[in-house]
Chain A
């Protein structure tokens, strides 16, 4: 289960594939206040990244994966 949808937080774990993008978008649309936890995320598909970049949910935890932390997080948070 790559994305674990909790009440206010979506936890992305392992490798998130292209199939998850639509689901994540729907969850974010349904939970405008929802946060995203990337701590255990190893890699996310560009489609998933695009959803995060467009919706810009607050990150409850930044990824521990160095590549994601270094280059992808700034794209999501806009810093």
Chain B
């Protein structure tokens, strides 16, 4: 797979997880800004990535989801469960596509249809009819569109930056900027630049930086702190502060100050609407009377041409320095741009009683307020359509008449991509990907506009090398600066989270490294054999001793290496825990249960393999708790419990083990019912059942073929029972136990070894073969005379320190012919009578003695699970390679006994 696509797949998976967890957090607490930002960023990045590979259905879908989410973010739409459901469906769908992409490198053939179906559902959820949003695919801003008011204004999104010194900008400059914004679609940016006091020593010229800002509309140079007396002044102590307004866009302005940080520079987009207010003090308004008399009528009639003529004429009579003059000048500007909201507000400012306007005004009027600060009164829904140069009435011109591809919107997309590019750190390993991704989007956008030519390709090549200028020139070629709608989150995505301290490594390479270290450990184990041969076969004692010394050195290094590789392979439990909020949410909704999931110790680390192994069993256990454990809200309330049940998922480290508990406060297990069921299913006899204690009865749930539910639900009862959980966990050296109190809840406890990389095993010899027994289960090793073995019916046992220990003959258990063992003969030869060599091992039912032929030394081995056809042989937990090249089979005692 091409590395770019591979990266896209990996990244997108992470984004999707991020988005899903964020959504769940949001559902719990809709005011969680952090979660909202996370979801937004993740969705945005996914969309951006998909745009690169022509995965159009995916781009469209993410786009729609993002829009919907944006409305939620703006507070225009509540985040309900149904909406979250739908957004999660979207994420699921994208996840499936990503799987398909990883497999086939293309989207499945039904992707477009699936995308369309989900998009329609989303739109339905959004309350939009499909018609009004028909061209939303081409426009990045699909806010509810007022169909009759095409306006040339940029989409109103956030409030931008509105510092109090906005008022210090003179009327004329504000008007100049607003006209640039409304008529040419320019993006306005405010900046405040205060170089640090030592700035002059670094050789830069702050004034030159400011001077280079393009399309500067206004600039104020002031001392940040009062000047000292000329006599005591330090010429090189920089005290200057620059404040300015430019119509070249925040990104372009910020680009001039490339080496300044947020300490010294603040530069942000400012909505044009924030600049529309009349300045100056109220003055003599008597001259306005004539205007005031005619204006209401003209306005109500929608005769804007006459209104404008009247206002313009009046403006020449009234000084622009007083508030009324300023308002008149603004009125002309607003009329030119056909900004009815501002027209109405300015008229009110002048004292014109604005009546309910003509059909021109689909929006409800802003609240009549004498307050001149009506900048916020701009309606939130403004369409992103092309500039309308003509102020003639546009009533009746429907949105459908606007061309399907909206150049302005496309340019906004391009600007956004440029902003992303600008934020990419070229040293970043992922930079090439970002540049290429943004580049492709840009190119497609230009093709859509019919502006693609060779210059684009050249510019893209330059961009890949870090020179963005040619690309910027191409993008800005048509429209003079266009609002970069949501550049901020993109910048964060591209620049904020990438840390150069860590980097992505393919899990396979780590596995390979682990294997190599394992082989090294095994290889080093051959030194003692070599030393022994040197001493005994060749009789060179000195060489043997030296070999052993060298062995110790290599052994130490190998151990350190092993530790380091293990550390790399450690993963936090959060890796598996993160799937549960979703699982609990979905299942509880489906079962109409109210369940809260509490997670603890997500940061507990364990070996990658352990984490991977734990996933399945834990999922099953949690499903069990939801399905069988927690009761319905009614049943809970009847039992005097809160309607909402709680499932606690806790992980912690205990010595060399990682413990995971799944605890619920549900109905608990009924030991009597368990016994009955076991008898019914003929798993145990009636007599056996009667002998079982309540605690022992609970263990029945781990018996193969046991299920407490009569009906097999689609959740947990799918033939994979707790027996599979137990055997899976056992196979990897872990254990699972259950505790339950009827009516109070159930707790399942899972213990897994922290790491599986290296195990210490005890070597035993049976019938001439070597086997390993995990050292943690070994209690003691004893040799007893044969006569000490007592026969109890068919069973054998020995009495050891007043305790009866049942004996098992390992050769029989493994079906080996151990009758004639040289080893045993050799052992026996040193004693007066035949001996039994017993390895006492710990088992849940108590100690068991294993009769073997002889003991070997303890060995550090790397146990590899049985693979392929051997995987079904349960008697062994795995194999290990010995220093002399022999294969050691490690016994799985629990399965064996």
Q: How far is the CB of B228 from chain A (nearest CB, A)?
A: 7
**B233, A44: Cβ atoms under 8 Å?**
no
Interface of B is mostly: mixed
Shortest Cβ distance from A64 into chain B, in angstroms?
15
Give B201-222 as 1s and 0s: 1 = Cβ < 8 Å from A's Cβ atoms: 0010111100100001001111
Partner of A75, one of B222, B228, B238: B222
List of A residues within 8 angstroms of B233 by Cβ: 25, 51, 54-55
Given known contacts A46-B195, A46-B207, is B236 in contact with A21 (CB within 8 Å)? yes
Show 27 residue pairs from A and B whose CB-CB distance is below 8 angstroms, ordered by the A residue: A18-B205, A18-B236, A21-B200, A21-B235, A21-B236, A25-B230, A25-B235, A28-B230, A29-B230, A29-B231, A43-B208, A43-B211, A45-B208, A46-B206, A46-B208, A46-B238, A46-B240, A49-B221, A49-B240, A50-B239, A51-B233, A51-B235, A54-B230, A54-B233, A55-B230, A70-B219, A71-B219
Chain B residue contacts of A71, Cβ below 8 A: 216, 219, 221
Q: Chain B nearest CB: distance from A25 CB in Å? A: 5
Q: Which 6 A-B pairs have the closest CB atoms?
A: A75-B221, A54-B227, A46-B207, A71-B219, A21-B235, A46-B206
A22, closest chain B residue (CB): B235
Q: How far is the CB of B224 from chain A (nearest CB, A)?
A: 11
Complex CA gap A29/B207 in Å reads: 23
CB of A49 to closest CB in B, whole Å: 6
Inside 8 A of A22's CB, which chain B residues have their CB? 235-236
Please give the distance in Å from A28's CB to the nearest CB on chain B: 6
Give A27 Cβ to nearest chain B Cβ, in Å.
11
CB-CB < 8 A to A51: which residues of B?
233, 235
Q: How far is the CA of A51 from the CA of B223 in the complex (A)?
A: 11
Give the residues in chain B near A50, CB-CB below 8 Å: 223, 235, 238-240
Closest CB in chain B relative to A15 CB, distance in Å = 9
Q: Kindly list chain A residues whose C-beta atoms are within 8 Å of the C-beta of B238.
A: 46-47, 50
B195: chain A residues within 8 A (beta carbon) = 46
Please tell me which one of the listed residues A29, A47, A55, A67 contacts residue B200 in the complex, with CB atoms under 8 A apart.
A47
Size category of the B interface is 20 to 34
CB distance from A53 to the nearest CB of B (A): 6
* Contact string against A for B residues 302-341, beta-carbon threshold 8 Å, 1 for contact and 0 otherwise: 0000000000000000000000000000000000000000
* A59 contacts the other chain (CB 8 A): no
- Smallest distance from the beta carbon of A61 to chain B beta carbons, Å? 20
Which residues in window 29-79 of A have CB below 8 A to B? Answer: 29, 32, 43-47, 49-51, 53-55, 67, 70-72, 75
Contacts of B221 in A (CB 8 A): 49, 53, 71-72, 75
B219 to chain A, nearest CB (A): 4
Question: Which residues of chain B are within 8 angstroms of A49 by Cβ–Cβ distance?
Answer: 207, 221, 240
User: A45: nearest residue on chain B (CB-CB)?
Assistant: B205
B207 touches A44 (CB 8 A): yes
Q: Which of B211, B228, B235 contacts A47 (CB 8 A)?
A: B235
Find out whether the CB atom of B207 lies under 8 angstroms from the CB atom of A45: yes
Minimum CB–CB distance for B470 against chain A, Å:
26
Neighbouring B residues of A54 by C-beta, 8 Å: 223, 227-228, 230, 233
Q: CA A18 – CA B198 in complex, angstroms?
A: 13
A47 to B676, CA, bound (A): 93
Asked, given contacts A18-B200, A21-B236, A46-B240, whether A53 binds B223 with beta carbons under 8 Å apart, the answer is yes
Which of A49, A50, A67 has the most CB atoms of chain B within a 10 A radius of its CB? A50
> B236 to chain A: which residues have CB within 8 Å?
18, 21-22, 47
Q: Which residue of A lies closest to B199 (CB)?
A: A46
Residue of A nearest to B218 (CB): A71
Closest to B239 in A: A50
